[in-house]
Amino acid sequence: MKILVLGGAGYIGSHTVYRLIESGNEVVVFDNLETGHIEAVHPKAKFYKGDLRNRSEIDSVFDKEKGIDAVIHFAGYKAVGESVKKPLMYYRNNIDSTLTLCEVMNEHNVKNIVFSSSATVYGTPKSLPIKENFDVTHATNPYGETKIMIERILNDLYVSDNTWNIALLRYFNPIGAHKSGLIGENPNDIPNNLMPYIVKVANKELKELSVFGNDYDTIDGTGVRDYIHVVDLAKGHIKALNWVLNNNGIDAFNLGTGNGYSVLELVEAFKKFNNIDVPYKIVGRRDGDIASCYADASKAKDILDWSCTYNIEDMVKDSYNYVKGNK
C-alpha cells in the first residue's frame, strides 16, 4: 500500500512510519518540521517539506504521488498549556489544515484517513475506565476542543459521503521510543509532559521534577494516567489502516493499555529499571489537570484485533535509552 503520513517527522508519526515500512508499505511523509525533525524520518520514506495550511503545497504532493491508498494525519499542535495562551493559533493550525486536507483528498478521490485524536476529547470523564461512547462535547482546553471539532467535521463528512473510511484514534499517554534508540520524543523546549521531563532530569539537563499535586483521590495522591508505549501505538495505526482500507465507514477507538499509573509510580519505575536517580518535589496542582484517566481498550481489541504488548519496564527503559543515545 502507498500511505501518505502527515506529521511523519514528529514523535508518534516517525514511529508509525518505521512500522509501516517494516510491514512493507511505500511511505510518503509531509511535514513542515516545526516540531518534527528530519533525522526522525525513515530513510526509505519519501519526504516533502510543506505546510498543511498551504493548499498548493499539499495538493502538489497528491499530484506527484499518484496512487495514494490512505492518509494518516498526525500534523498539528499538541501542547495543552500553549493552546490556552494561543487559542487562535491552535484553531487555525489544527482545524484549518484538516479542512484543507479533506478538500484536497476529495479532489484526488483519496477517501481513507486515520486521524490522531486524543483522550483529551473526553474532558473530565464521568467514570473510569473511559469508553468510546462517553460524552465527547467538552474538553478542558482549546487543544482538546480542536480534536472534538475535527472529529465532528470528519463525522459530518462521512454522513455527506459514505464512501469515506475514517478511523478516529483517541490516544492516551504515549511514552517510550523505538528499541533502536534512533527515534524518540525530542521536544525543542522545556517539556510540558511528564516522561520527557523525567528523562531530562535523569540526564541532568533539568534539576528536578515538579510533581503537580499529591492530594488527588488516587493511590498515592498524584495523577493517574494510561501510559502506552509509542511502538504499540504505531502498531495500532497499522491495524486501524487495515480497518479503514476494508471499507468500514467511520468509528472511534481508544488506544491505551487499560492500566493507570500514578506520577510517583512512574517515577519509581523509571528509577528502578534505569538504576538512576530522579529528584523531585511536590508542588501545587496544574490548572486543567484531572485526577485519573485510563482507557477501556476492549473495542480496539475486539474490532481492530489490537492490544498492547509492552509493559511499564519497556516504556521507562526505552524512553531513557533514546535520550542516553542522544546525550
Per CB under 6 A, does 176 bind ligand NAD? no
Among 97, 120, 257, 274, binds ligand UD1 (CB under 6 A): 120
Min dist CB 181 to ligand UD1, Å, is: 21
Q: Which is nearer to ligand UD1, 147 or 178 (CB)?
A: 147
**Total residues at interface with ligand NAD (CB under 6 A):** 26
Q: Which of residues 210-269 bind ligand UD1 (CB under 6 A)?
A: 210-212, 223, 225, 263
Residue 81's alpha-carbon distances to 13, 191, 288, in angstroms, are 22, 11, 9
Which of ligand UD1, ligand NAD, none lies near 7, with the C-beta cut-off 5 to 8 A by kind?
Answer: ligand NAD
Please say if 90 is a catalytic residue. no
Q: Which is nearer to ligand UD1, 21 or 128 (CB)?
A: 128
Which of ligand NAD, ligand UD1, none lies near 103, with the C-beta cut-off 5 to 8 A by kind?
Answer: none
Which of ligand UD1, ligand NAD, none lies near 75, with the C-beta cut-off 5 to 8 A by kind?
Answer: ligand NAD
Q: Which is nearer to ligand UD1, 64 or 204 (CB)?
A: 204
Q: Which of residues 15-34 bind ligand NAD (CB under 6 A)?
A: 31-34
Out of 48, 143, 216, 322, the active site residue is 143
Per CB under 6 A, does 116 bind ligand UD1? no
Closest residue to ligand UD1: CB criterion: 223
Q: Grid coordinates representing 224? A: 493517574
Per CB under 6 A, does 270 bind ligand UD1? no
Q: Enumerate binding residues for ligand NAD (CB under 6 A).
A: 7, 9-13, 31-36, 51-53, 74-76, 78, 93, 97, 116, 118, 171, 173-174
- The catalytic site residues sit at 143
